[in-house]
Structure 1
Amino acid sequence: MRHGVLASPLGELTLARDERGLVGVWYPDHRGGAPADLGARDDAAFGDVAAQLAEYFAGERTAFDLPLAPRGDAFETRVWAALREIPYGTTRSYGELARDVGGPGYAQAVGAANGRNPLSVVVPCHRVVGADGTLTGYAGGLWRKRFLLSLEEPDADAAGRLF
Structure 2
Amino acid sequence: MTIDRPPTAYEERVYTMCSAIPKGRVTTYGDMAKALSPPSCARAVGQAMRRNPFAPKVPCHRVVASDLKLGGFKGSWGTETANVKLKRQMLLEEGVEIEGDLIGRHCVVRAGELQRLVAGKK
Please give the TM-score of this superposition, normalised by the length of structure 2: 0.68
Deviation digits for residues 27-67 of structure 1 (CA, Å, limit 9, x no counterpart): xxxxx2376xxxxxxxxxxxxxxxxxxxxxxxxxxxxxxxx
The structure whose RCO (Cα within 8 Å, separation 6+) is larger is: 2
Post-superposition shift, 1:71? Answer: 2.8
Query: Share of identical aligned residues, percent?
Result: 36
Structure 2, unpaired ranges of 5+? 76-82, 104-122
Q: 2: distance between equivalents of 1:34 and 1:145?
A: 20
Q: Secondary structure at the match of 1:118?
A: coil
The size of the alignment, in residue pairs, is 95
RMSD (Å), alpha carbons: 2.3
Q: 1: distance between equivalents of 2:19 and 2:69?
A: 20
Change (3 A) 1:113 1:34: closer
Q: 2: distance between equivalents of 1:150 and 1:71?
A: 31
Is 1:147 aligned to residue 116 of structure 2?
no
Match 1:130 to one of 65, 69, 72 = 65
- Pair member with larger Rg: 1
Q: Which has the higher strand share?
A: 1
Is 1:33 aligned to residue 2 of structure 2?
yes
Please give the TM-score of this superposition, normalised by the length of structure 1: 0.52
Structure 1, unpaired ranges of 5+? 1-31, 36-69
Q: Tell me the amino acid that sits aligned with residue 41 of structure 2.
A: Y
Q: 1: distance between equivalents of 2:48 and 2:68?
A: 19
4+ residue segments displaced more than 4 Å: none
